[in-house]
Amino acid sequence: MARSRRKVVRRHPHWIEWTTGLLSTALVATMTGMILYHGLTAKDAIPELSVTITTQRPTVQGFEVSFIVSNAGKKTAAGVPVTGRLLDGEKQEVETREVTIDYVPAQSQVEGALMFSANPGTYRLDIHASGYSEP
Amino acid sequence: MDLSARSCGPRSFVFGALGVTMEDVDEARGAPFHTTAFVTGLGRGIAGALLFALPMQMTMEMWDLGFAMDRFRLALLLVITVPLLVGIAHRIGFEKTFSWREDIRDAMIAYAIGILASAMILTLFKLLTPETAEQDFLGKIALQAVAAGIGALLGRSQLGTDPDDAEDEPDSGYGAELFMMAVGALFLNLNMAPTEEMILISYKMTPWHALATIALSILVMHAFVYAVSFKGGHELEDTPGWHALIRFTLPGYVIALLVSLYCLWSFGRLDGSGSMPALMSTIVLGFPGAIGAAAARLIL
């Protein structure tokens, strides 16, 4: 078959092609603008991590404490160890548990849980993120 | 070449045979059922399923997603795959004169080949055993079947050598062009979206890297189709290049980004994520998507 397989872009297309094209252009431009703005405002950004406890519930082998790690900063934190300690009165540690969260992206939240064998309800529970690394 | 001879080509799974029972006057009236040709068609489908889906079948994240993926999102992906396969079958399977009924039939055969090929390969790798939990079992096969099904359809058409290819149709519609870009983007994205590297790259990148990625994605997309004179490339003639950029390349890039966003969401990569990290990972995954979209315009 001698017919060429090449397609030719017509000079005067249906209006729908231009509408789609212009909408897409606007969308790409908006996206670029957002990133540009983010780039200008998020200079020297650092992760700002905080841990909040959501629920405590008894399990078959002890107690589970669910938490949310939030990163309010504009930089992603990687390998975030979340340490939970049960304290008996004056800094007397009863139990320590730790879990590592792979990534806490910038301005995002990640859920996790720690398992204790003692009841966290009867002690003071201290839970915090103990560090992070660059992704 | 007349229509009946054409429909007997090795590209379709079921040749003349169903045409008789379906009383479809247009197709292959009375043509005998060629068992060997049918088997060849199935063989090509399986070959395509293997060629296109093996990278995913050998990816650890895909196995995990089999049970970890949200069931609603998995079901949605499976449902979306059906019109997608029908569309591909319509575009590259048969000539335009053939009915949607046949496209649907072909798409479902391809889907079935995808499911069987996935089950076979996953069993071979001992990822599916009789002890595997039911949800895990179903999820693993279903997830792989999407890419394998697309692969089966593409294998059937692209690995075959039928001179009467639909590519000879010089003026495919605008919608068809955008649809093929979506298919190309989805294909590459399905390969890459499950891996952790996609989000990791986006975390490593600064906003300036992301901007460069956007620029490069658009440039590569445009160059692929209009500049480097690949086989199947498009000609501009007297149309200015920026016309093609706005009418085809930028909508194609937006489609690639939307497909990328959909894949990341499907695989739960955006859960709990803020808008900026989500946008950045969409752009990262949109880069291979853009290349896939551009390639689909040339190949399909």
pLDDT (average), residues A10-23: 86
Q: What is the pLDDT of residue B6?
A: 42
Handedness of CA A83, A88, A92, A93 (dihedral sign): negative
Eight-state DSSP code of residue B245:
I
Q: What is the pLDDT of residue A3?
A: 39
Cβ <8 Å between A135 and B275: no
Q: What is the pLDDT of residue B239?
A: 76
Percent of chain B, pLDDT > 90?
A: 48
A8 touches chain B (CB under 8 A): yes
As to burial, measured by CB atoms within 10 angstroms (0-12 exposed, 13-18 middle, 19+ buried), residue B30 is exposed
Task: Residue B208: list chain A partners with CB under 8 A.
Answer: 39
Residues A29 and B256: beta-carbon distance below 8 Å: no
**Helical packing angle, A15-41 and B250-266, nearest 10°:** 60
B240: Cβ contacts below 8 Å, ≥ 6 apart: none
| Whether pLDDT at A2 is above 80 | no
Q: What is the pLDDT of residue B16?
A: 38
The rounded mean pLDDT for chain B is 82
Cβ <8 Å between A14 and B254: no
Domain-wise residue ranges, chain B: 1-169, 171-300
Higher pLDDT, B209 or B95: B209
| Whether pLDDT at B128 is above 60 | yes
> What pairs with residue A66 in β-bridges?
A55, A113
Asked casually if ipTM beats, i.e. exceeds, 0.90, the reply is no
Rounded to whole angstroms, the Cα distance separating B30 from B255 reads 43
Comparing alpha-carbon positions, the chain B residue that sits nearest to A47 is B203
pLDDT digits (tens, 9 = 90+) for A70-87: 999 988 999 999 999 998
Percent of chain A, pLDDT > 90?
A: 59
Cβ <8 Å between A21 and B246: yes
Q: Determine which of B197, B203, B217 to mutate to test the interface with A (most A C-beta atoms within 10 Å).
A: B203
Rounded to whole angstroms, the Cα distance separating A116 from A57 reads 10
pLDDT digits (tens, 9 = 90+) for B150-204: 999 888 776 665 544 444 454 568 888 899 999 999 989 998 999 999 999 999 9
| Whether pLDDT at B17 is above 50 | no
| Whether pLDDT at B94 is above 50 | no
Question: Residue B131: how many CA atoms within 13 Å on its side-chain side?
Answer: 2
Assign B117 a pLDDT band (cuts: 50, 70, 90): very high
Task: Residue B91: list chain A partners with CB under 8 A.
Answer: none
Rounded to whole angstroms, the Cα distance separating A32 from A55 reads 40
Q: What is the pLDDT of residue B23?
A: 41
Cβ <8 Å between A18 and B178: no
Amino acid letter, residue A97:
R
| Whether pLDDT at B3 is above 50 | no
| Whether pLDDT at B30 is above 70 | no
H or E element, residue B88: helix B71-88
A14 touches chain B (CB under 8 A): yes
Residues B43 and B141: beta-carbon distance below 8 Å: no
Residues A93 and A66: beta-carbon distance below 8 Å: no
pLDDT digits (tens, 9 = 90+) for A94-110: 889 999 999 999 999 99
Amino acid letter, residue B119:
A
Mean pLDDT is lowest, of A48-62, B207-221, B222-236, for B222-236
C-alpha distances out from residue A79 to A64, A105, B61, B269, Å: 21, 11, 19, 17
Q: What is the pLDDT of residue A11?
A: 73
Amino acid letter, residue A122:
T
Rounded to whole angstroms, the Cα distance separating A27 from B267 reads 24
DSSP code per residue over B221-240: HHIIIIIS--TT-EE-TTS-
Cβ <8 Å between A31 and B247: no
Residues A79 and A133: beta-carbon distance below 8 Å: yes
Rounded to whole angstroms, the Cα distance separating B288 from B254 reads 13
| Whether pLDDT at B7 is above 80 | no
pLDDT (average), residues B21-32: 47
Assign A135 a pLDDT band (cuts: 50, 70, 90): confident
Assign B27 a pLDDT band (cuts: 50, 70, 90): very low
Closest among B194, B270, B263 to A107, alpha carbons compared: B270
Q: What is the pLDDT of residue B158?
A: 67
H or E element, residue A101: strand A92-104
Domain at A49-129, CATH homologous superfamily: Immunoglobulins (2.60.40.10)
Comparing alpha-carbon positions, the chain B residue that sits nearest to A70 is B272
Closest among B152, B89, B76 to B118, alpha carbons compared: B152
A112 touches chain B (CB under 8 A): no
pLDDT digits (tens, 9 = 90+) for A20-49: 999 999 999 999 999 999 989 877 788 999
C-alpha distances out from residue A135 to A104, B32, B288, Å: 10, 62, 22
Q: What is the pLDDT of residue B72?
A: 95
Q: What is the pLDDT of residue A41?
A: 87
pLDDT digits (tens, 9 = 90+) for B227-284: 876 767 777 777 787 888 899 999 999 999 999 999 999 999 998 888 999 999 999 9
Residues A79 and A93: beta-carbon distance below 8 Å: no
C-alpha distances out from residue B8 to A94, B22, B36, Å: 78, 16, 12
